[in-house]
Structure 1
Amino acid sequence: MKKTITVSLALLGALVLSACQEKASAPEDIRPVRYIVAGDAAALSGSSYSGEIRARNETQLAFRVPGKVVAKLVNSGERVKKGQPLARLDPNDYQLDLAAKQAQLAAAESDLAQQQLNLKRYRELLAKQFISQAQVDAQINGVNAAQAKVNQARAALSASRNQTVYATLTADADGVVSQMQAEPGLVVAAGQPVAKLSQDGSREVAIQVPENALEAVRKAGSFRVTLWKGGAPLEGKLRELAADADPVTRTYPARIALSGDSRGLQLGMTADVALPAQASHQLRLPLSALLDLQGKHYVWTIDDKTLRVSRKPVKVAAIDSDNAVIASGVRAGDKVVTAGVHLLHEQQRIKLLDR
């Protein structure tokens, strides 16, 4: 019996020792994290904006008269010259009106000639004292009235001729027809846009600016513009910033004028517009990097050598929709965890994910 107890105790000790060894050899919890380098403006949301290459002058083209489109003379993407016809309306009604105005003018001129001839006869009769001066004066008024009708008919004829000319839509300048909606059979109203002409000349980038970045964009002296297709970066300057936000996106349309030769830029190309690093002198971190505990703010900084994190208190100067302005606690160049800050603990070992 004593021997049995001794063996049991030996086995129990072996099991306990084995469990301790297994516990001691358990792998350390290494948590993968995303991070940002404090002071790296290019990594912050809102420091760059995606846009597209647009012409400096874009014109919405429309017929100046209503009617039914009977001919589409160019397609979207075609290059046109100033004065080149783009589309035509049915001219029948305008040609009939023109013929009517010509007939009215002919009738008015005929009446004027008759009134002038009568005035000549009246004056001859007045010289022989067959009629009174009052009758001559009345005839003079008749000539003046006939002349006024002729002037009116001529003006109406000129307007009718213009209406006939307006039935053909022409290009206002050399450029590219970026949109063409005037399809045959379409009935349009006067002034209804049916085409868009992107005029030749300088090119610029159209971007949308969020309200929290308006001040930074206004103060930026220049912008770095890179094209998705590649190539050397271009320099741009703010030319236009809308005063009202777009009702759908709630962002502010802006235009960045490009300097240098822009002949190789195609309309619609994708471009990235970045603010220069010197445009902001404040240290900013994403809101996801902040850890709030009992009313205080902290961030996790990463030690490059040991790949372990340390919790540091920070003082937040301001917060917007995307970022926090850090007044103290973090220096430029520190690596700060930006995701999963609530799952870390002091001196925890981490694995850096691609930024």
Structure 2
Amino acid sequence: MPTALRLACPLVLAMLLAACSHPDSSSEEIRPVRIVTAGQNGSTPRNSFAGQIRARTETDLAFRIGGKIVAKLVNSGEHVKKGQVLARLDPSDTSLDISAKQAQLAAAESDLAQQQLNLQRYQQLLAKQFISQSQVDGQQNGVNAARAKRDEARAQLAASRNQGSYTQLLADADGIISQINAEPGQVVAAGQAVARLAHDGEREAAIQVPENALQQVRQQKQFAVTLWAGKQQFEGSLRELAGDADSATRTYAARISLPHASALALGQTVTVTLEPGAAAAPQTLRLPLTAVLDEQGKHYVWVLNDKSLRVTRRAVSVLAIDSNSVTLQGGVRPGEKVVSAGVHLLHDNQRVTMLQGGQ
């Protein structure tokens, strides 16, 4: 073999080995992901709460006796007056009962009259010394028993007549029927809620408060309540805050009193905002539940570097979790871009590309 060829072979071999040890960077895997910006696209700081307008007083209405509904006289959304009939039960059962009680009363009154006539006759016989005093006393006891039976029959008849009036479901105040669950032919039990009446008068904003905002809400003196439709704003104050969290959402129900908003429609969507000046709560952000990576009880998110389009894993503190979102305190700053889908397929310094509609 020529000398030049022998010298060139090691050089070519070294070049080939170097090429194999440093693969082309163009073969690096690029993962497609969806991105959400902290503080946007559904992630919100917890200084405001979504809610709805409710009546200060809402009453579940029910029949006091069971029976079959024969008439529904109002529909959901209608305004009613106090004492207005909302629905009726079939009165035939109570009518039969009243007739039976009237017959019992008539029999009891007839028996009492007979016992009293007998007592008069016994007293006349005693005066002539034909019978003893003990016989007269026995007849007096019979009169007393008949009178008690007559009084009991009267009471039963009065109760049956009262039950006859219970076949009508009446509104106990002026207001709006917010819900009615009654249809002709339906059989209901005594006390079963048939309609819900939202009383006229003061309105309130009903909201759900997460546990990390409880202290801030308790200390707040005034709230700004803004209507989603029309953007009208009202001032309100905290009237009620639940002492126990809802078992499903783990939030606390609160009512914000709105003394100057009695004309608002029930169910309107509002945003309740904490007024400036209260003790500031730690800043929190809400992100989609799919943005959080859970590993051995610790929580992480992938934060995107806009320039390099690479992601970095960052530990976060989770305050609350619901079915769609997670509330974080610390670890992410407003404005940072966080991966919201595909978090289990990434590694540190992973290069990514944003899917259409990912922002």
Aligned to 1:196: 196
**CA 1:84–1:336 in 2, change beyond 3 Å: closer, same or farther?**
closer
1:10 corresponds to which residue?
A: none
Give the 5 Å matches for 1:134-145: 134-145=134-145
* Counterpart Cα distance in 2 of 1:187 and 1:179: 18
**Structure 1 stretches of 4+ moved >4 Å:** 32-37, 340-345
TM-score by length of 2: 0.70
Identity %: 58
Residue 329 of structure 2 corresponds to residue 324 of structure 1: yes
- Residue 343 of structure 1 deviates from its aligned partner by 12
Aligned-partner Cα distance in 2 for 1:169–1:337? 57
- CA 56–286 in structure 1, closer or farther in 2 if over 3 Å, else same: closer
Displacement of 1:189 in angstroms is: 1.0
| TM-aligned CA deviation for residue 180 of structure 1 | 1.4
Distance 1:128 1:86 in 2: 67
Distance 2:156 2:80 in 1: 33
2:253 alignment partner in structure 1: 253
Correspondence for 2:50: 50
State the match for 1:150 in structure 2.
150
The 8 Å contact of residues 53 and 265 in structure 1, kept in 2 or not, is answered as yes
| Contact 1:219–1:279 (CA under 8 A) maintained in structure 2 | yes
Query: Residue 36 of structure 1: CA displacement?
Result: 6.0
- Alignment of 1:276 with 2:275, yes or no, is yes
User: Aligned in 2, Cα 1:167/1:114: closer, same or farther, shift over 3 Å?
Assistant: same
| Structure 1 unaligned regions, length at least 5 | 1-31, 38-42, 289-299, 301-306, 309-315, 327-334, 346-354
Q: Does 1:106 align with 2:106?
A: yes
How many Å apart are 1:202 and its aligned residue?
0.7
- SS of the residue aligned with 2:172? coil
Gaps of 5+ in 2: 1-34, 288-302, 308-314, 321-326, 340-345, 350-358
How far 1:344 moved relative to its partner? 12
For 2:284 and 2:254, locate their aligned partners in 1 and report how far apart those are by CA, in whole Å: 25
Matches of 1:229 and 1:168 in 2, distance apart?
39
Shift in Å at residue 248 of structure 1? 2.8
After TM superposition, the structure 1 = structure 2 runs for residues 1-355 of structure 1, keeping only pairs within 5 Å, are 34=37, 44-260=44-260, 262-282=261-281, 284=283, 286=285, 320-321=319-320, 322-324=327-329, 337-340=335-338
Give the letter aligned to residue 143 of structure 1: V
**Count of residue pairs brought into register by the alignment:** 287
The structural deviation recorded for 1:49 is: 1.2
> Are the aligned partners of 2:228 and 2:269 in contact in 1 as well (CA < 8 Å)?
yes
CA distance in 1, matches of 2:330, 2:95: 70
Structure 1, residues 64-100: CA drift from partner, whole Å, max 9, x if none? Answer: 1111111111111111111111111111111000000
Question: Residues 86 and 170 of structure 2 are in contact (CA less than 8 Å); yes or no, is this contact kept in structure 1?
Answer: yes
1:224: Cα distance to partner? 0.7
CA distance in 2, matches of 1:283, 1:210: 13
Cα distance change on mapping 1:151 and 1:65 into 2, 3 Å: same
| Contact residue 65 and residue 167 of structure 2 kept, 8 A | yes
TM-score (norm 1): 0.71
1:277-334: CA deviations, max 9, x gaps?
322335525488xxxxxxxxxxx9xxxxxx99xxxxxxx9x873424369xxxxxxxx
Give me the whole-angstrom Cα distance separating, in 2, the residues matched to 1:240 and 1:108: 56
| Paired residue type of 1:215 | Q
Q: What code does the residue aligned with 1:142 have?
A: G
